[in-house]
A and B are shown apart, each in its own frame.
Chain A
Amino acid sequence: MSLALLPVLLFWGTVTGVDLVSFPQGLLSRPLVAASVAGAILGDPLSGLRVGVILELFAMDVLPIGASRYPDYGPAAVVAAAFAVGGSGAHVLGPAALLGVLLAILGGRSVEGLRRLNGDLVRKAEPALAMGDRGMVSRLFWMGMTADAARSLSLTAFGLALVVVLQWGIEVPSELGHYLGLVAIGGGILGGMNGVLRRSGGARLVGVGLLLGTIVAWIA
């Protein structure tokens, strides 16, 4: 990973994290989007796409509704793509995806911390909010956004630092990487199926989808 591209990756990781939690929720945080753009930044969109597809299957199992707890796949996918692109050979895809899953869980925890921080700020501002203080509403909005940006930036920076350490310090044996890849793919399929069954529009539609998918896979 070139040091010159580090600020761009950090920026992109921050954008994807903020997209999920605060602004603009425009699907930039979807792993497929986050990882493929990261791959393109690093000059290898295909590796980004491959790791993005695996993580996207995991993300299909996530319903980011209201106060529910959910993983943050945006910065995680950026870091996973950086690991996949920087590694030597296809066998790093699995370890990259697993690193992404781990960071997504960590990212989810950081979202909870952000919510508590916002709560502290709101409690302190209660008197001004009750008076309809326009400046306070605006301040709380921007403080929430800034804290989220700091959270996403820290998460991306931590992940990329981990990538640098792992790439310099540890050579992933190809056999280990291969088997980890199988686990990641299996986990992705499991996540995707969980998502399908959770939001099922009926067993018949699931059957139709699986049948159509099998036919397309067979032809393609």
Chain B
Amino acid sequence: MDRVTPRTTTVIRLLGMQSGWSYERMQGIGFGWASEPALRKLLGHDRERYRLALARAAGFFNANPYLAAAALGAELRAEHDGLPASQVERLRSALCGPLGALGDRLFWTGTVPALSALGVVLVTLGAGLWAVLGVVVAHNVFRLYLASWLLQLGWANGTTVGQAIQSSPLPRLGSLAVWGATVLTAGAIPIVGTWLLADTGNWDLVMVFGFLTAAVVLRWFFGRKMTATTLTLIGGILVIIWQTVAR
């Protein structure tokens, strides 16, 4: 990969994958922008091929932004090898689903909530701003390393990148991340709850428990419309009315 493209530039540009996100092309503009320097280096000698490849790269694309590097590497390889346009487009759309599912599992239901829970637990245990810094550094080191590795994997495997990812440690890592996130987020609730309610009396604890019970009942009646934020705002309004009347 280093031989053909400014790899660092591509990895850095992948950080802006979601810029220009629209319902029409979803991440297409970000994907096109990230691909452009590499495409120019690969196909710059043939202006027509370069322009058609860039038009394809900026087309519809939607996957997990952290794993998009694999698709980008594979597409660059396919364009470099001169595969027919229809095959490049099939490769691109075939990768959206699996990369989306795996990436969402690894990041949005795995490492991100796990780090978030770890961060709040460490803060409540007195780690302060260091915990916050640790969370940010850990996430970014991991995602940058992963993007660089996936770009290389995509480039090395081209149209067979799907199988390469499947046989890599990533799917297993995704499962481990979800398990870790489940334990950490569940573990964070009593720790953070105790920390936040440390200076409250028994009557306060009864009120919080009452709020939670009412929330569960309302959610059971009205379904998923009753999100935590909606229920909290309803609770807040009721408290304001109650306190205003009481005064």
CB within 8 Å of B: which residues of A?
Answer: 21-28, 30, 32-33, 36-37, 40, 45-46, 49-50, 52-54, 56-61, 63-67, 71, 90, 98, 101-102, 104-105, 115-116, 118-119, 121-123, 129-134, 137-138, 140-145, 148, 173, 175-176, 178-180, 182-196, 198-202, 205-210, 212-214, 216-217, 220
Residues of A within 8 A of B204 (CB): 178, 182
Could you say which of B23, B115, B128, B227 contacts A27, with CB atoms under 8 Å apart? B115
| Cα A195 to Cα B112 with chains together (Å) | 12
- Find out whether the CB atom of B33 lies under 8 angstroms from the CB atom of A98: no
| Cα A79 to Cα B103 with chains together (Å) | 31
Residues of A within 8 A of B76 (CB): none
How many A-B pairs have beta carbons closer than 8 Å: the answer is: 308
- Find out whether the CB atom of A105 lies under 8 angstroms from the CB atom of B136: no
- Find out whether the CB atom of A141 lies under 8 angstroms from the CB atom of B30: yes
- Find out whether the CB atom of A32 lies under 8 angstroms from the CB atom of B16: no
As a 0/1 sequence over residues 180 to 201 of chain B, the CB contacts with chain A under 8 angstroms (1 = contact) are 0111111111111111110110
Query: Given contacts A137-B29, A186-B235, A209-B182, is CB(A199)–CB(B19) below 8 Å?
Result: no
Minimum C-beta distance from B138 to chain A (A)? 9
- Find out whether the CB atom of B208 lies under 8 angstroms from the CB atom of A56: no
Interface of A is mostly: helix
Query: Given contacts A25-B65, A66-B100, A214-B190, is CB(A33)–CB(B132) below 8 Å?
Result: yes
Minimum C-beta distance from B116 to chain A (A)? 6
Could you say which of A23, A32, A71 contacts B229, with CB atoms under 8 Å apart? A71
Could you say which of A176, A194, A198, A210 contacts B239, with CB atoms under 8 Å apart? A176
| Cα A121 to Cα B40 with chains together (Å) | 24
- Find out whether the CB atom of A176 lies under 8 angstroms from the CB atom of B240: yes
- Find out whether the CB atom of A212 lies under 8 angstroms from the CB atom of B183: yes
Contacts A26-B143, A27-B136, A188-B228 known; list 13 others, CB within 8 Å.
A21-B18, A32-B132, A116-B23, A134-B51, A141-B19, A141-B29, A178-B204, A182-B211, A189-B212, A191-B227, A201-B181, A209-B185, A214-B190
Minimum C-beta distance from B3 to chain A (A)? 23
- Find out whether the CB atom of A66 lies under 8 angstroms from the CB atom of B26: yes
Could you say which of A26, A56, A66 contacts B139, with CB atoms under 8 Å apart? A26
- Find out whether the CB atom of B233 lies under 8 angstroms from the CB atom of A102: yes
Could you say which of A45, A178, A185 contacts B196, with CB atoms under 8 Å apart? A185
- Closest A-B pairs by Cβ, 8 of them: A209-B186, A187-B232, A132-B51, A144-B20, A213-B187, A191-B228, A132-B55, A24-B15
Minimum C-beta distance from B244 to chain A (A)? 8
Query: Given contacts A122-B20, A141-B20, A144-B20, is CB(A205)–CB(B129) below 8 Å?
Result: no
Among listed B118-126, B153-161, B164-172, interface-contacting one: B118-126
| Cα A2 to Cα B247 with chains together (Å) | 33
- Find out whether the CB atom of B21 lies under 8 angstroms from the CB atom of A144: yes
| Cα A190 to Cα B53 with chains together (Å) | 48
| Cα A129 to Cα B52 with chains together (Å) | 10
Residues of B within 8 A of A182 (CB): 200, 204, 207-208, 211
Minimum C-beta distance from A65 to chain B (A)? 5
- Find out whether the CB atom of B183 lies under 8 angstroms from the CB atom of A209: yes
Residues of B within 8 A of A104 (CB): 229
- Does B41 have its Cβ within 8 Å of any Cβ on chain A? no
Could you say which of B55, B189, B211, B242 contacts A131, with CB atoms under 8 Å apart? B55
| Cα A63 to Cα B247 with chains together (Å) | 41
Query: Given contacts A22-B18, A141-B19, A192-B189, is CB(A49)–CB(B123) below 8 Å?
Result: yes
- Does B243 have its Cβ within 8 Å of any Cβ on chain A? yes
Minimum C-beta distance from A128 to chain B (A)? 9
A-B contact pairs, 26 of them (CB 8 A): A23-B16, A27-B135, A32-B132, A33-B136, A37-B132, A45-B129, A98-B232, A116-B22, A118-B22, A122-B25, A130-B55, A134-B40, A140-B29, A141-B29, A176-B239, A179-B239, A186-B211, A188-B196, A189-B192, A189-B193, A196-B186, A201-B182, A205-B186, A210-B186, A212-B187, A216-B125
